[in-house]
């Protein structure tokens, strides 16, 4: 997966003037980079607070904010090593610190991701509504058609058919072979997952939960917008453009590569060309914001991991 990410990175930067890129990165206003990273950090804080609201209805106690925030940041850190590993890693942290069943925690994270997916769909819809011609043209001509050049419809149908057969086979085993040991184990795990998934129905402060969900994405948007001011070529772009770039970046981060490396750079640079920003300047912007957020995760994630190890050592000595 890292190899794919690096290949995408090579594709994104192919034919670019690296001396000019280095010059632009040196002349960037890094105070705006810090402001952008701080907005992203606030989003991470809100994510931890929202996750606690999902954990509380499980009836196993509510972790402290320190534990939950540390778990979230360690999860992001794990994603830099193995894509999507962070979802399980942060559940493992809370399981260790607060003794909450792992399968229930995973259920709450699945719920969280479904809500984030819903928010992303809303943001995509809002972006298309505000800039229909530009965004629809980009998604169709520069994304779908380019992907279509490399992936045939037959391949998609074969892949979908294989998935359908696997799903039907799994359903048959669950319904007809309940006495099998591993089936019993899977049903037991599903019971925990469903408990975590249904926790959203039992949230006491539903308005607060909705507000946190909106604010998380607002601060992602603010982080994206503030980073425009780091480079002169992008400083005149407005919040509506930031909304589109947030969509592009989110699609890049969905790619199964470590931290969205390569995919994020390529799609953000391509997306900004819609607004008459050269691919070179788009790549410089993508490099700055992706690097700042990665460094933020590395710094805070490693600190969180160190604190977890220190606290665990103290508990063992006691």
Q: What is this structure's pTM?
A: 0.80
Cβ-based neighbours of 153, under 8 Å, separated by 6 or more: none
Does residue 64 or residue 197 have the better pLDDT?
Answer: 64
On whether the CB atoms of residues 302 and 77 are closer than 8 A, the answer is yes
Among the residues of 56-84, which ranges form H helices? 65-81
Q: Tell me if 312 is assigned to some domain.
A: yes
State the chain's mean pLDDT as an integer: 80
Q: What is the pLDDT of residues 139-154, one digit of tens each?
A: 666 555 555 444 455 5
Specify the residue for token string 């259920």: 107
Q: What is the pLDDT of residues 243-281, one digit of tens each?
A: 989 988 888 887 777 777 778 888 888 888 888 888 888
Q: Tell me if 12 is assigned to some domain.
A: no
Is residue 200 very low, low, confident or very high in pLDDT (cuts 50, 70, 90)? Answer: confident
Rg (Cα) of the chain, in Å, rounded? Answer: 22
Q: Tell me if 3 is assigned to some domain.
A: no
Task: Residue 95: give the domain boundaries.
Answer: 32-317
Alpha-carbon gap, residue 159 to 125, rounded angstroms: 28
Q: Tell me if 139 is assigned to some domain.
A: yes
- pLDDT of 299 over the 90 cut: yes
Q: Tell me if 104 is assigned to some domain.
A: yes
Q: Tell me if 98 is assigned to some domain.
A: yes
Does residue 202 or residue 136 have the better pLDDT?
Answer: 202
Q: In whole angstroms, how far apart are CA 310 and each of 69, 91, 99, 140, 317? A: 16, 19, 18, 51, 11
Does residue 21 or residue 234 have the better pLDDT?
Answer: 234
**What is the arithmetic mean of pLDDT over 298-318?**
80
- pLDDT of 69 over the 90 cut: yes
What's the total number of domains in the chain? 1
Q: Tell me if 153 is assigned to some domain.
A: yes
Q: Tell me if 59 is assigned to some domain.
A: yes
């Amino acid at each position: 997966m890292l190899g794919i990410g690096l290949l995408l990175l090579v594709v994104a930067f192919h034919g670019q003037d690296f001396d000019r890129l280095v010059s632009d990165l040196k002349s960037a206003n890094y105070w705006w980079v810090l402001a952008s990273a701080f907005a992203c950090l606030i989003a991470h804080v809100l994510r931890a607070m929202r996750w606690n609201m999902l954990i509380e209805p499980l009836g196993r106690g509510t972790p402290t904010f320190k534990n939950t925030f540390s778990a979230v940041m360690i999860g992001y850190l794990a994603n830099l090593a193995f894509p999507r590993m962070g979802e399980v890693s942060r559940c493992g942290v809370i399981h260790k610190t607060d003794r909450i069943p792992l399968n229930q925690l995973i259920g709450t994270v699945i719920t969280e991701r479904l809500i984030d997916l819903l928010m992303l769909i809303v943001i995509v819809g809002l972006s298309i509504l505000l800039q229909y011609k530009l965004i629809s043209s980009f998604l169709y001509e520069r994304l779908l058609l380019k992907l279509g050049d490399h992936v045939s419809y037959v391949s998609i149908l074969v892949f979908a058919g294989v998935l359908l057969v696997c799903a039907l086979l799994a359903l048959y085993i669950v319904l007809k072979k309940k006495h099998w040991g591993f089936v019993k184990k899977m049903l037991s795990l599903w019971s925990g997952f469903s408990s975590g998934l249904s926790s959203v129905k039992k949230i006491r402060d539903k308005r607060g939960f909705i507000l946190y969900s909106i604010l998380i994405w607002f601060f992602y948007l603010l982080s994206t917008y503030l980073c425009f001011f780091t480079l002169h070529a992008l400083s005149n772009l407005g919040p509506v453009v930031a909304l589109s770039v947030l969509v592009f970046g989110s699609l890049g981060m969905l790619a199964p590569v470590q931290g969205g490396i390569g995919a994020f750079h390529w799609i953000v640079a391509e997306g900004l060309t819609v607004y008459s920003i050269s691919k070179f300047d788009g790549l410089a912007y993508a490099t700055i914001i992706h690097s700042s957020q990665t460094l933020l995760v590395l710094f805070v994630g490693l600190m969180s991991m160190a604190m977890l190890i220190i606290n665990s050592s103290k508990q063992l000595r006691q």
